[in-house]
Chains A and B, each alone.
Chain A
Amino acid sequence: MVSRQECHQLASLARLSLDDAEAERFAGQLGTILGYIEQLRAIDTEGVAEYLPPSRPGSALRDDTNAPGLEREQALAATPDVREHQVAVPKFKED
Chain B
Amino acid sequence: MPAAHYEPVIGLEVHCQLETRSKMFSTCAVGIGEPPNTLVDAYTLGLPGTLPVPNTAAVRHGIALALACGCTIHAQSRFARKHYFYPDLPKGYQITQSDQPYATGGGLEVPGFTGPDGEPKRVPLVRIHFEEDAGKNTHVHGEDHSLVDYNRAGAPLLEIVSEPAIGSAEEAAAYMRELRTLVRTLGISQANMEEGTLRCDANVSIRPRGSTTLGTRCEIKNLNSFRFLAQAITAEIRRQIDVLDSGGTLQMATLSYDPDRDRTRVMRTKEDAADYRYMPEPDLPPLQIPAAWIEQVRDRLPPLPAARRARYREQGLSEDDAVLLAGEPALGDYLDEVLRTGVPAKKAGSWVTVELLGKLRADGRGIEDSPVRPQALGELVEMIEAGEISGRSAKAIFTTLYTQTDPAMGPRAIAQRDGHRQVSDTAVIEAAVREILDANPKQVAQFRAGKTKVRGFFVGQVMNKTRGQANPQVVNALLDRLLADPTSDEAGNNASKNTDEGSEQ
Binding site for B on A (CB under 8 A): 13, 15, 50, 52-53, 55-70, 72, 75-76, 81, 83-92, 94-95
Contact = CB atoms under 8 A, between A and B. Distances in A.
B27 A66 contact: yes
Given A50-B280, A56-B285, A66-B29, A86 B149 contact: yes
Q: Which 4 A-B pairs have the closest CB atoms?
A: A55-B285, A64-B57, A69-B41, A86-B147
Nearest to A59: B288
A56 B288 CA distance: 10
Given A83-B145, A89-B146, A66 B22 contact: yes
B58 A64 contact: yes
Interface in B260-289: 267-268, 275, 277, 280, 284-288
Contacts of B286: 52, 55, 59
A65 B57 CA distance: 9
Interface string B6-26: 000000000000001110000
Given A62-B56, A66-B28, A70-B42, A90 B37 contact: no
Nearest to A50: B280
Contact of A89 (B28, B145, B150, B288): B145
Chain B contact patch, size range: 35 or more
A63 B56 contact: yes
B87 A89 contact: yes
B251 interface: no
Interface of B: 20-22, 27-29, 35-42, 44-45, 53-59, 85, 87, 137-140, 143-150, 254, 267-268, 275, 277, 280, 284-288
Contacts of A62: 27, 53-56
Contact of B285 (A53, A69, A75, A86): A53
18 contacts: A55-B288, A59-B284, A59-B288, A61-B59, A64-B58, A65-B21, A67-B41, A68-B41, A69-B40, A70-B40, A81-B145, A85-B35, A87-B148, A88-B148, A90-B144, A91-B140, A91-B144, A92-B137
Contacts of A91: 139-140, 143-146
Nearest to B53: A62
B56 A87 contact: no
B349 to A, nearest CB: 37
Contact of B275 (A13, A66, A76): A13
Contact of A90 (B21, B28, B145, B288): B145
A46 to B, nearest CB: 19
A88 B147 CA distance: 5
Contacts of A84: 36, 147
Contacts of B29: 66, 69
